[in-house]
Chains A and B, each alone.
Chain A
Amino acid sequence: MRLLILFGFFGAGKTTLIIKLAKNFVRRNKKVAIVVNDVGKIGIDDKVIEHYGLKVKEIFGGCICCQLGTDLVETLDFLEKNYNPEIVILEPSGGASPEALYSTLKYVRELKIIYFPKISLIDATQFNVLIEVIEPLIKAQIKNSDIVLINKIDVVLEKNVEEIKKDIKKINEKSSILPISALENINMNELISILEV
């Protein structure tokens, strides 16, 4: 089982990107499952994803990086035993801490998980506000990423994207940065080839 984890703050476009990626993987005859974590006690992302005919399991009513960590371990175990997907795409809640989530995943000992590069999604339209208001979370998501995707570049100026790139490099100089628009399919082929599916 290959596990792709996509961090990103609420509204960054994680669900849209996951639907695009999953549909692409399915077109390549990959067996895909999606696990979404809604902090609300009423799930929404599962309904959106199911609408596109994709296999989804939802963990809701808390965060998988902390109080629902056990549920995540159980869900991955259930998926492998009952569905045996080649690829699992995991959408943590927008407030999830990468460090805490990766610590939780250490407990998934019985499953053979191969990790994709660690990815976080940045909303280009909101980056400056978020880095001020919730700096520790945004920095943690960037620091713990191999690839940082700057999403929604179709609605911001190119110079703003360049400024965001510089800020990301200051936080994590080793990360690769790819500006995309999941909604408008900008640089999605580049992303797929980086993921080497």
Chain B
Amino acid sequence: MSEHVFKVFASKFWIEFDSEKDKNQISNIFKALLEKLFYVGSKNDVLVGHVKLFGKGFQGMYVKGNVTGKLENLKVEIEGGREKRIKMWLNIISHQGEAEKIKSNFCNVLREFEDEMNVRIENLEVVL
């Protein structure tokens, strides 16, 4: 068996907050994003695969996050103080999902995420 049975989705974009946010606020924003993406790739609340993200802030912030298996395994790790703009890279790898469905759900999730968290997504690049 190889990775061929997994659906792989990769993306990079910038996130801009409405104002400068501190570490805790940013942690909560990324937890919300990972939670939404967990449901994009999972089936019956189990993700066989992972969602992984990495972010680099324009003032030096470092963000690392992932979720695998169950939602309770979601983790976000942040180093740095405050940021207004973060460059993001993320991968969704799923055994259950369909690539095109993940892609379309991903865009819906980003729209919801922008509205709910009051952030702006820019320069989105998506690779299947």
CB within 8 Å of B: which residues of A?
10-11, 38-44, 47-48, 51, 62-63, 65-66, 93-97, 100, 123, 125-126, 129-130, 133-134, 136-137, 140
Docked-complex contact A125 and B73, CB < 8 angstroms: yes
A-B contact pairs, 24 of them (CB 8 A): A10-B50, A10-B68, A11-B50, A39-B93, A40-B93, A40-B127, A41-B8, A41-B10, A42-B10, A42-B127, A48-B54, A62-B3, A63-B2, A63-B3, A66-B4, A94-B50, A95-B2, A95-B4, A95-B6, A125-B70, A129-B46, A130-B48, A134-B1, A134-B95
Q: Write out the residue numbers on chain B whose beta carbons fall within 8 Å of the beta carbon of A95.
A: 1-6, 93
Tally inter-chain residue pairs, CB-CB below 8 A. Answer: 91
CA distance A40 to B52 in the complex (A): 11
**B90 interface hit (Cβ, 8 Å):** yes
CA distance A65 to B62 in the complex (A): 31
Q: Write out the residue numbers on chain B whose beta carbons fall within 8 Å of the beta carbon of A134.
A: 1, 5, 48, 95
Q: Write out the residue numbers on chain A whose beta carbons fall within 8 Å of the beta carbon of B91.
A: 38, 40, 42, 44
Residue of B2, B48, B127 contacting most chain A CB atoms (<10 Å): B2
Docked-complex contact B10 and A40, CB < 8 angstroms: yes
Q: Write out the residue numbers on chain A whose beta carbons fall within 8 Å of the beta carbon of B82.
A: none
**B30 interface hit (Cβ, 8 Å):** no
**B53 interface hit (Cβ, 8 Å):** yes
Docked-complex contact A129 and B48, CB < 8 angstroms: yes
Sorting the interface of chain B by its residue count into under 10, 10 to 19, 20 to 34 or 35 or more gives 20 to 34
Q: Write out the residue numbers on chain A whose beta carbons fall within 8 Å of the beta carbon of B5.
A: 95, 134
**B12 interface hit (Cβ, 8 Å):** yes
CA distance A88 to B8 in the complex (A): 26
**B9 interface hit (Cβ, 8 Å):** yes
Docked-complex contact A40 and B9, CB < 8 angstroms: yes
Please, what's the 1-or-0 string for B1-27, where 1 marks a CB less than 8 Å from any CB in chain A? 111111011111000000000000000
Q: Write out the residue numbers on chain A whose beta carbons fall within 8 Å of the beta carbon of B48.
A: 129-130, 133-134
Smallest distance from the beta carbon of B94 to chain A beta carbons, Å?
A: 9
